[in-house]
């Protein structure tokens, strides 16, 4: 039977926990502090002292469990029961209209009601509650498997360790971890005072804080959280999961009702949200939020439109990586001017030489930019970019920095034109430029350290062999120290050699070796993509794998056999054949293949029909005015089209930008329709729209 002291301690602990949770909610959710930091710390210290004196009274949902904790050696994988999907982007009004058109067409043509929310510039997070108590927190990862960051998330005071209303069973909340502007400024002041590197933007600061090995470091970073969904609700999971999750009670019928329910459970939900009708409502919400963007206490890079009714979400379904019932309407790129102080030449995986502008650091859209792509030699000459110029820099799609133009009126007298190298700046091999091509390439192949490094990073990528932990810093050392003279040698590494690397401890070395060992079991399409054959992307690798079904059959296929593969044209066929005819490439491919234990064929692909560009094949070339290659590809694929590498008579459209090169001439020769970026938007625009 509990003693009188224990009963008194239990009552006081309940009072302290309730008081601290109330203060946390006021500060982090309502942004309305009710006590000074000193007063808060006094209550927390009293709580910790009582729990230390009466350890049997300590609870896992106590506010004392938010801070401290032993440092962890790694972040364990955290599989998602329901995949965490990404969102497709709409970059302008035409693409937002196309989204509404697709939704209305799929739902019968009537005007649709949408729930409009903010698109936070943070880190997607899954919170799993069991019987109302926080059990696990995980990052999105690749959508299927994330990182377990439970210990760190417990330090985020905006996140309740116990829900305000009891919920039986499991409930998985999805949301965004972010850092407010004021806390980001405070963190960087601290970093500079400690002579440490400042963070580039709040998103990077939030992501880095969550991945700290010591939760106490995360606790000092003042992270925030906003809930925006739940696994199993609406189109985010199997029908019926939401009913089970709510413990048999009536589930919310739509997104807006779900957000209200999450707020009632004590979860932070952004109050800037509303339900609107049709495309006019979407346009109005976007315009109002864009006007308020700079006044918000946190960074956003757009807004999110979601079909409100869950029944309609389920009817619409999802693509492989994104739901059809939601889209992120991104804000336009941000621009700034700065001085170009130099031009470096980087060597890529296929030997491509890319000029990169070195800039006086400038903030562009909340990110400090010091380097920007110049694409190729012809682009430098076309824009007449010189060292010493003042240039206009833009983050295309709010992500990738690029030099948009020179400001000639500010050109100094000593501005120096770029001299493009005739030999590789890394290995000294001759630089070659094929007839009609815009890109010059190092001819050294894998004897070039830069190409070998990029080949290893490509091979380790999530869509290739997926070797977690093999990042740029480790690859640099492996190549520079001669530990991996060719890609297959990656599988010969041992713990002793890895531990010789800078900042590589025993546990990290063993984790990397386990990841490398796990990559020995893969699929044929991943292996083909991992080889880095020029012009062979993910889609073509999948088509080759499905057509030949066997590595040796592919390696022995002549160009005529390759041309029989769906969407493979002469350029791709010639590139594949050239790769396997090159003794060095074939030896590398065979060596890599023999290091693998199992190579499974990929499952058959689902065919998407009924979309505006269904069945249409596109080839992309040149530099588009506002879209990156990835953004254009995504827009085409979301609309049901397919992007292939090479022009053939089966190609429906060539999407051509500046410096289109030989593909434009080939398209004209074959009679393939040539469109520009405006033409693409016209294809995506709803019929009858102006």
Q: Does 319 lie in the same domain as 339?
A: no
Instruction: State mean pLDDT over 248-259.
Output: 84
- Tell me if 490 sits within 8 A of 484, measured CB to CB: yes
Q: Does 501 lie in the same domain as 528?
A: yes
**Which band of pLDDT confidence, cut at 50, 70 and 90, is reported for residue 218?**
confident
Q: State how beta strands 441-442 and 521-523 pair.
A: unpaired
User: Residue 622 is part of a domain; what is its CATH number?
Assistant: 3.40.50.10190
What pLDDT score does 67 carry? 44
CA 574 remoteness from chain centre = 33
User: Residue 279 is part of a domain; what is its CATH number?
Assistant: 3.30.470.30
Is 668 a member of any domain?
yes
465-471, long-range: CB < 8 A, 24+ apart: 465/519, 465/522, 465/526, 465/527, 465/530, 466/519, 466/522, 466/526, 467/512, 467/515, 467/516, 467/518, 467/519, 468/515, 469/508, 469/511, 469/512, 469/515, 470/512, 470/515, 470/516
**Which band of pLDDT confidence, cut at 50, 70 and 90, is reported for residue 549?**
confident
What pLDDT score does 200 carry? 67
Question: Which candidate in 119, 616, 663, 666 is catalytic?
Answer: 119
Domain end position, chosen among 369, 401, 419: 419
Is 76 a member of any domain?
no
Residue 14 has pLDDT above 60, yes or no: yes
Is 324 a member of any domain?
yes
Is 73 a member of any domain?
no
3-state SS class at 371 = strand
**Which band of pLDDT confidence, cut at 50, 70 and 90, is reported for residue 31?**
very low
What pLDDT score does 324 carry? 92
Q: Which tokens is 442 given?
A: 């190092």
Eight-state DSSP code of residue 229: E
Q: Does 229 lie in the same domain as 101?
A: yes
Q: Does 671 lie in the same domain as 535?
A: no
- Tell me if 134 sits within 8 A of 214, measured CB to CB: no
Nearest to 21 by CA among 563, 13, 109: 13
* Mean residue pLDDT across the chain: 84
Q: Which tokens is 371 given?
A: 């380097």
User: Residue 595 is part of a domain; what is its CATH number?
Assistant: 1.10.150.20
Is 470 a member of any domain?
yes
Q: Is 330 designated active site?
A: no
What pLDDT score does 612 carry? 80
Residues above pLDDT 70, as percent of the chain: 89
Domain end position, chosen among 549, 575, 600: 600
What pLDDT score does 278 carry? 95
Q: Does 282 lie in the same domain as 151?
A: yes
Is 320 a member of any domain?
yes
User: Residue 62 is part of a domain; what is its CATH number?
Assistant: 1.10.287.610
Instruction: State mean pLDDT over 406-429.
Output: 91
What pLDDT score does 690 carry? 47
Is 469 a member of any domain?
yes
Q: Does 321 lie in the same domain as 348?
A: no
Domain end position, chosen among 600, 635, 662: 600
Total tally of structural domains belonging to the chain: 5
What pLDDT score does 30 carry? 55
Tell me how far apart the alpha carbons of residues 386 and 408 are, in angstroms, rounded to a whole number. Answer: 10
Q: Does 95 lie in the same domain as 46?
A: no
Q: Does 307 lie in the same domain as 396?
A: no
Per-residue pLDDT tens for 577-632? 988 998 888 988 999 999 998 888 755 544 444 578 877 889 898 888 878 777 78
Q: Does 121 lie in the same domain as 204?
A: yes
Q: Does 323 lie in the same domain as 280?
A: yes
**How many CB atoms lie under 10 A from the CB of residue 46?**
16
Residue 238 has pLDDT above 60, yes or no: no
Is 465 a member of any domain?
yes
Structural domain boundaries enclosing 537: 445-600
Tell me how far apart the alpha carbons of residues 655 and 664 are, in angstroms, rounded to a whole number. Answer: 9
What pLDDT score does 359 carry? 95
What pLDDT score does 28 carry? 52
Per-residue pLDDT tens for 41-83? 677 778 888 888 888 888 877 777 654 333 334 568 888 888 8
Residue 118 has pLDDT above 90, yes or no: yes
Nearest to 199 by CA among 214, 177, 221: 221
Per-residue pLDDT tens for 437-450? 778 899 888 788 99
User: Residue 405 is part of a domain; what is its CATH number?
Assistant: 2.40.50.140
Q: Does 363 lie in the same domain as 257?
A: no
What pLDDT score does 556 carry? 94
Q: Which tokens is 201 given?
A: 């933007």
For the ranges 519-523, 584-588, 641-645, the lowest mean pLDDT is seen at: 641-645
End-to-end, the C-alpha distance of the chain in Å comes to: 79
Q: Does 463 lie in the same domain as 532?
A: yes
Per-residue pLDDT tens for 279-295? 999 999 999 999 888 88
């Amino acid at each position: 039977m509990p003693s009188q002291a224990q009963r008194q301690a239990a009552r006081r602990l309940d009072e302290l926990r309730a008081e601290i949770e109330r203060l946390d909610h006021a500060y982090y959710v309502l942004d309305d502090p009710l006590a000074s930091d000193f007063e808060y710390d006094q209550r927390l210290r009293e709580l910790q002292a009582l729990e230390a004196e009466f350890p049997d009274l300590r609870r896992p949902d106590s506010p004392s469990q938010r801070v401290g904790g032993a440092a962890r050696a790694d972040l364990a994988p955290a599989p998602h029961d329901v995949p965490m999907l990404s969102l497709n982007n709409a970059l302008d009004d035409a693409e937002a209209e196309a989204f509404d058109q697709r939704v209305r067409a799929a739902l019968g043509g009537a005007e649709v009601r949408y729930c409009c929310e903010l698109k936070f510039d943070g880190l997607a997070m899954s919170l799993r509650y069991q019987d109302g108590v926080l059990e696990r927190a995980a990052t999105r990862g690749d959508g299927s498997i994330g990182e377990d960051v439970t210990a760190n998330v417990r330090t985020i005071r905006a996140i309740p360790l116990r829900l305000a209303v009891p919920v039986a069973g499991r409930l998985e909340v999805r949301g965004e971890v972010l850092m407010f502007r004021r806390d980001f400024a405070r963190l960087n002041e601290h970093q500079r005072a400690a002579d440490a590197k400042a963070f580039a933007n709040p998103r990077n600061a939030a992501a880095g804080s969550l991945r700290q090995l010591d939760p106490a470091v995360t606790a000092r970073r003042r992270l925030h959280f906003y809930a925006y969904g739940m696994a199993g609700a609406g189109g985010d999971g199997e029908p019926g999961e939401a009913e089970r999750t709510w413990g048999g009670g009536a589930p919310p019928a739509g997104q807006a009702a779900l957000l209200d329910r999450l707020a009632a459970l004590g979860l932070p939900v952004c109050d800037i949200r509303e339900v609107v009708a049709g495309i006019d409502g979407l346009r109005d919400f976007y315009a109002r939020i864009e006007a308020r963007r700079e006044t918000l206490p946190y960074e956003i890079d757009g807004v999110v439109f979601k079909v409100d009714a869950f029944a309609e979400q389920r009817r619409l379904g999802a693509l492989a990586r994104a739901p059809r019932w939601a889209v992120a309407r991104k804000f336009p790129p941000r621009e700034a001017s700065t001085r170009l102080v130099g031009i470096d030449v980087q060597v890529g995986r296929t030997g491509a030489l890319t000029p990169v502008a070195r800039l006086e650091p400038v903030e562009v859209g909340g990110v400090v930019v010091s380097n920007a792509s110049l694409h190729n030699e012809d682009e430098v000459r076309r824009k007449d970019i010189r060292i010493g110029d003042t240039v206009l820099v833009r983050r295309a799609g709010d992500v990738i920095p690029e030099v948009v133009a020179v400001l000639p009126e500010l050109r100094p007298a000593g501005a120096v034109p770029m001299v493009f190298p005739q030999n590789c700046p890394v290995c000294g091999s001759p630089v070659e430029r094929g007839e009609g091509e815009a890109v010059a390439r190092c001819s050294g192949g894998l004897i070039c350290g830069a190409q070998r490094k990029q080949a290893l990073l490509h091979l380790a990528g999530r869509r290739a062999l997926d070797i977690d932990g093999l990042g740029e810093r480790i690859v640099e050392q492996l190549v520079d120290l001669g530990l991996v003279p060719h890609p297959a040698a990656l599988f010969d590494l041992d713990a002793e050699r890895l531990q010789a690397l800078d900042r590589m401890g025993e546990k990290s070395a063993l984790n990397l070796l386990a990841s490398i060992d796990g990559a020995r079991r893969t699929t044929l399409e991943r292996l083909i993509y991992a080889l880095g054959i020029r012009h062979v992307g993910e889609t073509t690798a999948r088509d080759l794998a499905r057509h030949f079904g066997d590595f040796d059959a592919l390696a022995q296929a002549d160009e005529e056999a390759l041309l029989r593969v769906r969407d493979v044209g002469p350029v791709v066929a010639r590139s594949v054949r050239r790769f396997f005819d090159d003794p060095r490439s074939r030896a590398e491919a065979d060596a890599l293949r023999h290091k693998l234990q199992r190579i499974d064929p990929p499952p058959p692909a689902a065919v998407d029909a009924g979309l505006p560009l269904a069945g249409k094949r596109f080839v992309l070339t040149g530099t588009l005015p506002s879209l990156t290659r990835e953004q254009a590809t995504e827009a085409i694929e979301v609309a049901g089209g397919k992007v292939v590498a090479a022009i053939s008579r089966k190609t429906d459209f060539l999407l051509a930008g500046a410096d289109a090169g030989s593909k434009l001439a080939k398209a004209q020769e074959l009679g393939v329709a040539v469109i520009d970026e405006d033409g693409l938007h016209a294809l995506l625009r709803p019929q009858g729209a102006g």
